[in-house]
């Protein structure tokens, strides 16, 4: 258990980030989405949003130079830092060598088995300034393993947060919106401008609080089929459902009518509940068509896999 201290927040202005990288003989790596947080107040606000308790277990994805990790180290009982860049992982290992509750994991967050990594214990809290280029797949990977996590405080591209919370009929409403809203409650919490990072990204950022559901908000009998349906219809979001669903069902119009959904509607207008109804109708139709024993099962009933 760590004690929360009121030490002054370490400042990490632009020059110091450049210096720290230079000491490693490095420049920021674009392909790893390396935009380091240079604003110590923002770093503190992000960590405050995680509402951590001294006995909590936390995971940080992409700790980089430690802007968030330096604060997390003092607030939790155990901390896992998952960093794919070996120079940075090495630096983190020596930076926290005197803190036995900190575990530096040199790995790609996309392939980490968090249940195996964290072992038995209470679900962990994720805190991360995610690399933009893989933020959506990382979110999908975290939600696929949502039993490991109590909540996630994630800095993402603002446009992505808008998609995560988008309502039917809005421009931002996409497959990512439906699949994420099936798996978790998302709340935008803090907007951050490009000036807070080194180097400056071209986009605005936003911190979102993501709380995985233990029980999805709508009943879906076959989550795999639900994902397939969402992905299929949103590849042609402007097309009428009776057309875009043809790849899934020969008589799509009849299926839609049976589910109480007007066949001429476009996917971008359907609510999560309507998608669940439609998916269940499709699952029922497939179950009738398939002989018993050939039906698919899906053990991970809350797997959203927005990819």
- Name the residues that contact ligand SAM, by CB under 6 A: 32-37, 61-65, 67-68, 82-85, 88, 108-110, 129, 131, 134
The strand pair at 184-192 and 205-212 is best described as antiparallel
**Least spacing, CB of residue 220 vs ligand SAM, in Å:** 29
Q: CA 162 to CA 148: how far, in whole Å?
A: 25
Q: Which residue of this chain has its Cβ atom nearest to ligand SAM in the complex? A: 62
**Least spacing, CB of residue 130 vs ligand SAM, in Å:** 7
Nearer Cβ to ligand SAM (166/207): 207
**Least spacing, CB of residue 237 vs ligand SAM, in Å:** 29
**Least spacing, CB of residue 87 vs ligand SAM, in Å:** 9
Nearer Cβ to ligand SAM (134/178): 134
**Least spacing, CB of residue 62 vs ligand SAM, in Å:** 2
Q: To the nearest 10°, report the CA torsion of 174, 176, 178, 184.
A: -150
Nearer Cβ to ligand SAM (134/270): 134
Nearer Cβ to ligand SAM (14/232): 14
Buried b (16+ CB within 10 A) or exposed e, 138-172: bbbbbbbbbebbbbbbbbbbbebbbbbbbebeeeb
Q: Count other C-beta atoms under 10 Å from residue 58's C-beta.
A: 24
Q: To the nearest 10°, report the CA torsion of 127, 132, 138, 142.
A: 30
Nearer Cβ to ligand SAM (33/216): 33
């Amino acid at each position: 258990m760590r004690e929360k201290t009121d030490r002054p927040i370490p400042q990490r202005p632009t020059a110091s980030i450049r210096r720290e990288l230079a000491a490693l003989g490095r420049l920021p790596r674009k392909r790893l989405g390396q935009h380091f947080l240079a604003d110590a107040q923002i770093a503190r606000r992000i960590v405050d949003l995680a509402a951590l308790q001294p006995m909590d277990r936390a995971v940080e994805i992409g700790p980089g130079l430690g802007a968030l990790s330096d604060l997390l180290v003092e607030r939790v009982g155990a901390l896992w830092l998952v960093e794919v860049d070996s120079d940075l992982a090495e630096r983190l290992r020596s930076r926290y060598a005197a803190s036995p509750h900190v575990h530096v994991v040199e790995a790609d967050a996309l392939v980490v088995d968090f249940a195996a990594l964290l072992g038995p214990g209470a679900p962990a809290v994720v805190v991360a300034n995610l690399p933009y280029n893989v933020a959506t797949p990382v979110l999908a990977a975290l939600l696929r393993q949502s039993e490991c996590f109590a909540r996630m405080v994630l800095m993402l591209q603002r446009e992505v947060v808008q998609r995560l919370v988008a309502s039917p009929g809005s421009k931002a409403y996409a497959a990512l919106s439906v699949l994420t809203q099936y798996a978790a409650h998302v709340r935008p919490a803090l907007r951050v401008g490009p000036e807070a990072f080194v180097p400056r990204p071209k986009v605005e950022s936003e911190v979102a609080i993501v709380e995985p559901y233990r029980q999805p908000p709508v009943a879906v009998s076959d989550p795999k089929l639900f994902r397939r349906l969402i992905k299929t219809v949103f590849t042609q979001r402007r097309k009428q459902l009776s057309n875009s669903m043809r790849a899934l069902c020969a008589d799509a119009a009849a299926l839609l009518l049976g589910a109480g959904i007007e066949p001429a509607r476009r996917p971008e207008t359907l609510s999560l509940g309507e998608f669940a109804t439609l998916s269940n109708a499709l699952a029922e139709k497939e179950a009738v068509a398939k002989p018993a024993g050939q039906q698919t099962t899906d053990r991970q009933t809350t797997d959203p896999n927005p990819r």
